[in-house]
Amino acid sequence: MTRRIAVSGAASGIGRSLAALLRTQGDDVVGIDLEDAEVCADLSTASGRSEALEGVLERTGGALDAVVACAGISAMRPATVAVNFFGVTELLAGLCPALAASRAPRAAFVGSIAGTAATVPEVVDACLAKREAQALDAAAAAAARGEGNRIYPSSKAALARWMRGVCLTGDWAAAGIPLNAVAPGVVLTPMHAAHAMTEEQRKSVDEAVPMPLGGYAEPEVIARALRWLVSAENTHMTGQVMYVDGGAEATLRGPDRF
């Protein structure tokens, strides 16, 4: 059965790999990205998100079987919060009604092992309160005091908490829509390419994200997990962060967290 699926970040990395996998199995994919996609829009801005929603709904006639939010950045600046949290949550929430007519509606997004790291509480709290301007200001303040490395983890931690808060609501569970996340470790995408340039950089990454099973992952590894999460086969899994990280989460948090 052909399914119609919207994928953000479809022009590169995990999103590109997922779009290719879905098309190979016969699905109709509507890609969203800054360029080289069916719908071109900037998810870092409110106007860009509106353009993305309008573009997807126009191309699909307002009916979707699944939505997967893969778009994200890892810069140590406020834009990371704008794209990673507000770009994801507003896209998913905005397209949720379009899933209502599907016999097997599904939704997922890309989280991160970084979501378990130290955060900027002010950023996370502002995200969950849907106060974007305040969240961006808090991220800018964190960068100014030398905590820019906590902005990305904050955006991903806020995403996981948002998911846990909404997945059981009337818009999602009661409507029969599972909502889940895949949390990768280090993935060999353009966003992480710089991490492997030198032995010193690699050592630093390996200490922060130890991956005893398989080492760094290709984007197809994460794409395959996302493909299952939004397949008709996933009937009862919701509100979960699926760590596809080579054992990083289990290593860092130990056996007492599960």
What letter does residue 166 receive in the DSSP assignment?
Answer: H
Sign of dihedral through CA atoms 34, 45, 132, 76? positive
Confirm whether 243 is a catalytic residue: no
What's the number of CA atoms in the CB half-sphere (13 Å) around residue 183? 23
* C-alpha–C-alpha distance, residues 5 and 196, integer Å: 33
Instruction: Give the residue carrying structure tokens 């991956």.
Output: 211
Q: 127 and 155 in contact (C-beta within 8 Å)?
A: yes
Question: Taking Cα atoms as reference points, which of 178, 187, 153, 202 lies closest to residue 96?
Answer: 178
Q: 209 and 138 in contact (C-beta within 8 Å)?
A: no
User: Catalytic residue among 85, 86, 152, 162, which?
Assistant: 152
Q: 161 and 116 in contact (C-beta within 8 Å)?
A: no
* C-alpha–C-alpha distance, residues 123 and 91, integer Å: 20
Q: 73 and 83 in contact (C-beta within 8 Å)?
A: yes
* C-alpha–C-alpha distance, residues 31 and 24, integer Å: 15
Question: Taking Cα atoms as reference points, which of 194, 250, 197 lies closest to residue 74?
Answer: 194
**Residues with catalytic roles:** 152
